[in-house]
Amino acid sequence: MNKVSVYGSFTQALFFSGVVSIPKYLLTHYRKIGICDSEMLVLIQILCESEVNPYPSISTLAGRMTASSSEIEEKLGGLVERKLLSIERYWNPVEQKWGNCYSFVGLIEELAELWAIERSQQLEEERILKQQQVPLNIPSTSPNPAMENLIQTFEQELGRLLTRLECENLDKWLSSHFSEELIIEALRRGVSAGIRNFRYLDSILREWEKKGLRTRAEIEAEDAFFQSRQEKKTTKSKSKGATKTTSNKYENFYL
């Protein structure tokens, strides 16, 4: 067999021998969660074996590495002690018996927490950068104090940056002659109800528009009137119930 044939055969065998899928985030962040290089290599070897053997022996791992069995055992013990790796029981349907397997749940949870912290820091940096620059989310090219105040109020209340579409909604409400005061009042009521999506806020504003309510004072007066009517209905209902009870009492008396 000539050199070219050997190389071609090896290349084919290499690519058909299978691959080990390792998340890039794990490879770039394992040091930040306290995993050293040798521990990472042990984890990679376990992942490599996981499809055919979910619980490879110490000797199997040692046969693929330059570390001794005692060193690998020490690395595994450290990972288990830090709850980055755990040993669980599972049912093997092929062999019809229980066996052990390595679980990476602890490792995934640690990476998820690190990712959440980094994401939070990234959002905070974006917020600081946004405050230092001219807001790019405002659709209008000219400065609009009402729009800027609404964006700041909504972002503080929602605890996040507004999307461009949400900013366009705010601009649309202002263009529809809803006052800044009314829009903030709709936000306040939506938050009180535990509903923070813009469709719900839009329905509140459209309902006020149908009733001809244009200021917060008018809305509060309408609320007071509605509450008064409800109280009268409740009182009237209780009064009817009391009359009926009294009538029934005397009817029984004369039986």
Residues in the chain: 255
Task: State the CATH number of the domain containing residue 206.
Answer: 1.10.10.630
Assigned domain for 241 exists: no
Residue 90 confidence (pLDDT): 86
φ/ψ of 98, rounded to 5, equals -85, 145
The per-residue pLDDT for 103 is 93
Question: pLDDT digits over 209-242, tens only?
Answer: 888 888 888 888 888 887 888 877 777 766 666 5
For residue 88, tell me if it sits in a domain: yes
For residue 250, the model assigns a pLDDT of 39
Residues 100 and 139 in one domain: no
Whether residue 140 sits in one domain with residue 106: no
Domain match, 23 and 92 both: yes
170 with 153: CB under 8 angstroms?
no
Does 230 map to a domain? no
Domain-embedded: residue 64: yes
Q: Splitting the chain (255 residues) into consecutive groups of 10 residues, what average pLDDT does each group show?
A: 62 67 92 93 91 90 93 94 92 87 93 90 84 56 79 88 88 89 90 83 90 86 83 71 52 40
Number of domains in the chain: 2
> How confident is the model at residue 232, as a pLDDT?
78
pLDDT number for residue 249: 46
Tell me the pTM.
Answer: 0.46
Rounded distance between C-alpha atoms, residue 116 and residue 187, angstroms: 28
Is residue 83 domain-resident?
Answer: yes
Domain extent for 192: 135-210
CA neighbor of 19 nearest in space, from 43, 44, 38: 44
Residue 117 belongs to some domain of the structure: no
Let me know if residue 12 belongs to a domain. Answer: no
User: For residue 92, with 0-12 CB atoms within 10 Å meaning exposed, 13-18 middle and 19 or more buried, which class applies?
Assistant: exposed
Alpha carbons 28 and 22: distance in angstroms, whole number: 11
- Tell me what the pLDDT averaged over the chain comes to: 82
Sign of the CA dihedral running 151, 152, 155, 160: positive
What pLDDT does residue 238 have?
A: 65
Instruction: Tell me, yes or no, whether 93 and 22 share the same domain.
Output: yes
- Domain stop point among 75, 110, 145: 110
- 40 CB-contact burial (10 Å; exposed 0-12 / middle 13-18 / buried 19+): middle
Q: How far is CA 85 from the centre of its chain?
A: 25
Domain for residue 223, yes or no?
A: no
